[in-house]
């Protein structure tokens, strides 16, 4: 039986399909497993890093050196694809990881803006959200950290692109005329009604919504036996 966590890993891996030789920057457990899965299967040219100055292979062995100046060149030239988290995200892909409430007097202090503006304006950024709820998928974020399609268009951002948002309920993209969020696929066992009730704005939903694809036998082997044999993925995604 394929678990919900394994569907999420596979959906995250798909974010890097067709990217070629770019630097993958997954943030968090499920995106990290997904990036390594992509590298081991359908994206052999993908570059992985240890988070500091070393390029590593899918097994973690050192493959090259990535000094900070070269890292910045990749960031500002659209040659990196980040997968970040989001405390809030809205229908145009604006993301918040800084605070909840008014910035001058927030009710919750979060991570801070960090590199989200530079990431989203200069290279593709996807998102992983392990708990899909109206508190995360909101009509308008309390503070813009990651830049969405509406603001990027006004700024004329050359490399702005949000390939996908993956949650524990499904996969979402912005393949609509106004770049508003669309339900691209449902994880098996999830209904459109569940997604709509867990989203704080009106999603674009096509007449027929496919299910997220099953991982292949090779991918399941990689996930279960090679990348995450201890099953840490199951702790991040609620069982159904």
pLDDT digits (tens, 9 = 90+) for 54-113: 888 877 788 888 777 777 777 776 788 999 999 999 999 999 999 999 888 889 888 888
- pLDDT higher for 180 or 79? 180
- 83 strand-pairing partners: 26, 126
What does DSSP assign to residue 180?
Answer: -
Query: Residues 60-68: contacts with CB within 8 Å, 24+ apart?
Result: 66/23
Distance (Å, whole) CA 214 – CA 188: 9
- pTM score of the predicted model: 0.93
% of the chain residues with pLDDT over 70: 98
3-state secondary structure of 46: coil
Cα separation, 138 vs 141, whole angstroms: 6
HSE (side-chain half, CA atoms, 13 Å) at 70: 11
Q: What is the mean pLDDT of the chain?
A: 92
Contact 6, 237 (CB under 8 A): no
């Amino acid at each position: 039986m394929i678990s919900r966590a394994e569907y999420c890993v596979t959906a995250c891996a798909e974010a890097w399909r067709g990217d070629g030789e770019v630097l993958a920057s997954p943030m968090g457990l499920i995106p990290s497993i997904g990036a390594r899965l992509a590298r081991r299967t359908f994206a052999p040219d993908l570059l992985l890093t240890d988070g500091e100055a070393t390029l590593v292979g899918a097994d973690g062995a050192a493959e090259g050196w990535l000094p900070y100046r070269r890292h910045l060149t990749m960031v500002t030239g659209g040659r990196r694809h980040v997968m970040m988290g989001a405390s809030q995200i809205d229908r145009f892909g604006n993301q918040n990881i800084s605070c909840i409430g008014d910035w001058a007097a927030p009710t919750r202090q979060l991570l801070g803006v960090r590199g989200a503006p530079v990431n989203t304006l200069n290279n593709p950024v996807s998102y992983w959200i392990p708990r899909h709820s109206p508190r995360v998928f909101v009509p308008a974020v309390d503070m813009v950290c990651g830049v969405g399609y509406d603001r990027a268009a006004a700024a004329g951002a050359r490399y702005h692109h949000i390939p996908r948002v993956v949650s524990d309920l499904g996969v979402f993209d912005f393949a609509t005329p106004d770049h508003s969020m669309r339900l691209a696929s449902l994880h098996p066992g999830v209904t459109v009604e569940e997604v709509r009730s867990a989203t704080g704005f009106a999603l674009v939903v096509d007449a027929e919504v496919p299910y997220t694809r099953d991982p292949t036998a090779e991918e399941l082997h990689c996930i279960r036996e090679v990348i995450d044999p201890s099953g840490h993925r199951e702790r991040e995604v609620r069982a159904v």
